[in-house]
Amino acid sequence: MMRQYELVEKVLAYDPNADEALLNKAYIYGYKKHGTQKRASGDPYFSHPIEVAAILADLKLDATVVATGLLHDTIEDTDATREEIDEIFGNEIGALVQGLTKISNLKLISRETAQSENLKKLFFAISKDIRVLLVKLADRLHNMRTINFVKPEKRIRIAQETMDIYAPLAGRMGIQFFREELEDICFRILNVDARHTILNRLQAMHEDEEDLLANIVDILNKKLKDAGVSARVIGREKRPYSIFRKMERQSISLEKISDIFAFRIITKNEDDCYRALGLVHTEWPMVPERFKDFISIPKSNDYRSIHTTIIGPTRKRIELQIRTEEMHEVNEYGIASHALYKENIYTNNPKTGAMPGDETEKPGSVPVSEESSAFKWLSQIIESLEDGDAPEQFFEHTKLELFADQAFCFTPKGRLIALPKHATPIDFAYAVHTDIGNTCVGCKINGITSRLRSRLNNGDEVEIITSKGSLPQAIWENFVLTGKAKSAIRRASREERKKQYAHLGKEMLIRIFKKLKIKYSDDKLTAALSVLAFKSIDDLLVAIARNEVRLKQVAIAVAPTLLDSKDIDFLNQQTHFELGASSKTNAIPIRGVSQNLGFIRFSKKYPPIAGERIVGIIKKGEGIIIYPIDADELEIFEDQPDLWVDLVWDLDEGDKNWFTAPIEITLLNEVGALARISTLIADQGCNIWNSFMLSKETDFHHLYMEVEVRDIHHFNILKNSLQTLSIIDDIKRVAGRKFGEITL
């Protein structure tokens, strides 16, 4: 166990002005608090905080961070309190230690939910101070170094969690040595046979090529020196897990991996990087499609380097990484070496709660600088927390973001946008700005009008077409990849759903008030809010629509002195949704912006189309289901008039929503018949959402299709156009089906 003076000397060696008294005080306090506690290995528990502090000192972090490492388990594992830490060490260290403390009251929920909740808490703490992440990674690294003392079943669970979250998180933050060591330890636990096989093969390759590798370093050093390029060349060997992952991803054997042994040319400045590149490319042939310039286009974790593969002096493939000393430091130590931290700027801007470059500039958002892509990525992760994602959703989205390969795309003005591989234009739009994503209605990829479902590739130029007043479609969430896009779509859906609820609640209230001869006004509702225990009118109207408050309660609270006994009797007799006669003049208007608004939703079996006559049916536990007036299913509700709610469309001419129309077509069995039908549907500006054959006969086929149309007029034009085809015997609108079964 490292002694007190050894740790202090370690910090003073790189920071002579470090607060020595703080380090000594933290060491003594932690030592006393952990007392006689033991680790699974039998060592004193305090040996763990000391090693965490030593790892942080290896990163050359300041005394505050190192002291936090010494104290990071005190609140969680001893009788220390946040108030006591604040009093002795100050609010700054108190907040850091609190941010590293797991949530303790999670005993009654699943392990997965507890894991998700603790991850959310960690990210919230990181959003306030990035140093929390550095201490957490150091904590996890030392725990993994000593994991052999943990029970096997727990060891596997911790290793999997580390492989899923902490190792890729370290990589995303650019701390490569953390990532590589964490991955290697987890690989040893989770796949011991594969790791052993790779190590044996590497040992054999070492014995065969040891002299060759040293020779290549000498040749490269001589060439660079002769050309006047000041640089050093070092060899690098891939870690076993990196080799295994590449073998899996590319389905190749170890012998076919060309970059097991790579060489780094580290120069003094950026110009020398390109001079060195020119030198090796003119001296030796380059392997096609094996060149990447991450200096010009850095990775999302701020990694910068030139990668190239040449056929080297021994006719052997050699991978070269060319970078400056400064780039090398950032590539290895990531955010721990970032310029922001060398200037001791760790937390949010005290005035705005954000750093320059943060588009939202909201209090509590992660610090973002214009020079750090890693911080911008972290900022987007924090946004999904602020949007109120469920813990499990946040956990899954974070894992997807951590493991995603990247594609680099451009705006028409040349701005670089880094996205997960196979991301969509909608992901691109939200990456540019949340408002761009919310109002997105179309896109052009490399100048060609394309679908919003298209998958983007490296180098694509993407132009997003927006329309003021447009809203994101709930269905987008099914195919976008980024957590930011998913969170924004869900948030917009929640807000739109709340507007729908409020609109319906107001219509219901106005009708009841009219029968009671009470004049509706927002002022009257405002005055009654405190009695009804609601904060806003919208909250009250939403509760009315959701049947969370009875109309009788609202009427009495608004006009207690105006109601007589007959009014009270009338209110007592009302079911929540008895809204009077079903006539068009009394119908409740709805906007067709979404086909699934939660409480109010379209029938899946009989989906309505904008412009046609519609009616709502109240179903217990489901809310109001909207049907076309001629839907067969309505027959079963004919003797239950109290369940009917009359509805009308409330659509502006500018609304451009798609509605699904299931149809069945009887067509002649002719060559090219299906192609002719598909072409005509496309020519009419419609889209085929689903299609399959119901049955085949000698002369006729029976085809089921779901076509997307703008409104009932659009559908009728399409239907009439299809009927003009000689190959079509019959066409009719039907109930929705699934392949092999009727849709419920």
In the annotation, is 523 catalytic? no
Q: Residue 679 gets which letter from DSSP?
A: H
Residues with Cβ < 8 Å from 590, sequence gap 6 or more?
A: 500, 503, 504, 600, 626, 647, 648, 649, 650
Helix (H) or strand (E) holding 570: helix 565-573
Burial 640-658 (b: 16+ CB within 10 A, else e): eeebbbbbebebeeebebb
**Tally of CB atoms within 10 A around 189:** 20
State how far the Cα of 670 lies from the Cα of 677, in Å rounded to an integer. Answer: 12
183 annotated active-site:
no
Whether residue 373 contacts residue 418, with contact meaning beta carbons closer than 8 Å, is answered with: yes
Neighbours of 563 (CB within 10 A): 18
Q: Give the per-residue SS3 of 393-424.
A: HHHHHHHHHHHCCEEEEECCCCCEEEEECCCC
In three-state secondary structure terms, 583 is coil
- Residue closest to 700 by CA, chosen among 728, 742, 658: 728
Among candidate residues 631, 512, 636, the one with its CA nearest the CA of residue 504 = 512
Going by C-alpha positions, the residue among 262, 271, 265 that lies closest to residue 290 is 262
- Distance from first CA to last CA of the chain, Å, rounded? 66
Reading the block at residue 450, the tokens are 């394309």
User: Taking the mean position of all CA atoms in its chain, how far away is CA 149?
Assistant: 35
Give me the numbers of helices (H) and strands (E) for the chain, helices first please.
28, 21
d(CA 448, CA 13): 59
Q: Report how far residue 606's alpha carbon sits from residue 647's, in angstroms, rounded to the nearest whole number.
A: 16
Q: CB-based contacts of 633: which residues, under 8 Å, 6+ apart? A: 603, 605, 606, 627, 735
Q: How many residues does the chain have?
A: 744
Residue 402: CB atoms within 10 A of its CB come to 18
Nearest residue to 170 (alpha-carbon basis) of 151, 183, 156: 183
For residue 534, the 8-state DSSP code is: -
The string of DSSP codes covering 285-310 is PBPTT--EETTTS--TT----EEEEE
Question: In terms of Cα–Cα distance, which of 408, 401, 352, 356 is closest to 378?
Answer: 401
Residue by residue, DSSP assigns 639-674 as T-GGGEEEEEE---TT----EEEEEEEEEE--TTHH
Q: Which two tokens stand for residue 535?
A: 């904060």
Question: What's the CA dihedral at 532, 537, 539, 540 to 10 degrees?
Answer: 40
Question: Of residues 76, 237, 359, 655, which has the active-site annotation?
Answer: 76
At 222, the amino acid letter reads K
Beta carbons of 470 and 429 less than 8 angstroms apart: no
The encoded tokens of residue 706 equal 């779901």
Query: In this structure, are residues 169 and 202 in contact, taking their beta carbons and an 8 Å threshold?
Result: no
CA dist 232 and 652 (Å) reads: 67
Long-range contacts of 563-567 (CB under 8 A, 24+ apart): 563/516, 567/516
Query: CB–CB of 658/708 below 8 Å?
Result: yes
Catalytic residue among 19, 77, 293, 729: 77
Q: Answer yes or no: are the C-beta atoms of 628 and 654 closer than 8 Å.
A: no
| Residue 617 CA, distance from chain mean position | 36
Q: What is the set of active-site residues?
A: 76-77
